[in-house]
Chain A
Amino acid sequence: GENVEQHPSTLSVQEGDSAVIKCTYSDSASNYFPWYKQELGKRPQLIIDIRSNVGEKKDQRIAVTLNKTAKHFSLHITETQPEDSAVYFCAAGQAGTALIFGKGTTLSVSS
């Protein structure tokens, strides 16, 4: 089955800096890679996703890159703000099926 590794587990940055979170996956059949943001005690919220036929996707300050050959994908947040502080989860799976989540990255943005 799929296995997703996520690094780092914690990340502290200054406001305005960039943050990068990296994930690797094991199942070459996986073709869908979403990223979720979870604030304390709340539901995970989808922030961006990428399909296997795309190498990069951007939405304002958030971008995701995918390297299918190396089986890794990354989340990039530019110009970080204190409200970006949360736990971020990457996930991998086949479209329409269950997702396997990474262990999460706690991002702290200090002003």
Chain B
Amino acid sequence: GAVVSQHPSWVICKSGTSVKIECRSLDFQATTMFWYRQFPKQSLMLMATSNEGSKATYEQGVEKDKFLINHASLTLSTLTVTSAHPEDSSFYICSASAGQGYQPQHFGDGTRLSIL
């Protein structure tokens, strides 16, 4: 149980393109999902907390107009990188927990984004 699916797993696109990444909880409802960014050989940096039915909470330094987050249902959150540039190239990974309290976060497989 507690499976999180992330799609796509790999994206290569031209500079200026917008890219949408989906994060789905397959066998549980996730009131809250989290989006992280990971550079090679570095840690996971929290970008934003995505709450179902409300606006996402962004971490300091993360441009909310650049990284659009939508959490329209209890099983789906999306991250859209708008007008992507080479510096946006990174590994983006989402996580979700099954509820409140001491529920572990389960991660998706991540999306490797390469902007040419």
Say if A and B assemble together: yes
Binding site for B on A (CB under 8 A): 32, 34, 36, 42-46, 49, 51, 89, 95-104
Residues in A with CB closer than 8 Å to B103 are 95-96
Interface size on B, residues (CB 8 A): 23
Q: Of A42, A46, A104, which one neighbours B105 at CB under 8 angstroms?
A: A46
Known: A42-B109, A46-B105, A96-B32. A104 touches B43 (CB 8 A): yes
Please determine whether B109 and A46 come into contact, CB atoms closer than 8 angstroms: no
Please determine whether B105 and A103 come into contact, CB atoms closer than 8 angstroms: no
Residues in B with CB closer than 8 Å to A46 are 104-106
What's the Cα separation between A34 and B95 when bound, in Å?
A: 14
Known: A43-B93, A43-B110, A44-B107. A99 touches B46 (CB 8 A): yes
Residues in A with CB closer than 8 Å to B34 are 98-99
Please determine whether A99 and B43 come into contact, CB atoms closer than 8 angstroms: no
Question: Whole-angstrom distance from the CB of B37 to the nearest CB of chain A?
Answer: 11
Please determine whether A96 and B108 come into contact, CB atoms closer than 8 angstroms: no
B88-116 near A? 1/0 per residue, CB < 8 Å: 00000100010111111111111000000
Question: Whole-angstrom distance from the CB of A103 to the nearest CB of chain B?
Answer: 5
What's the Cα separation between A99 and B95 when bound, in Å?
A: 10
Residues in B with CB closer than 8 Å to A42 are 109-110
Asked whether any CB of chain A lies closer than 8 Å to the CB of B54, the reply is: no
Residues in B with CB closer than 8 Å to A43 are 93, 107-110
Can you spell out 15 A-B residue pairs with CB atoms less than 8 angstroms apart? A34-B104, A42-B110, A44-B107, A46-B104, A89-B43, A96-B99, A96-B100, A96-B101, A97-B49, A98-B34, A99-B46, A99-B105, A101-B36, A101-B43, A103-B43
Please determine whether A102 and B32 come into contact, CB atoms closer than 8 angstroms: no
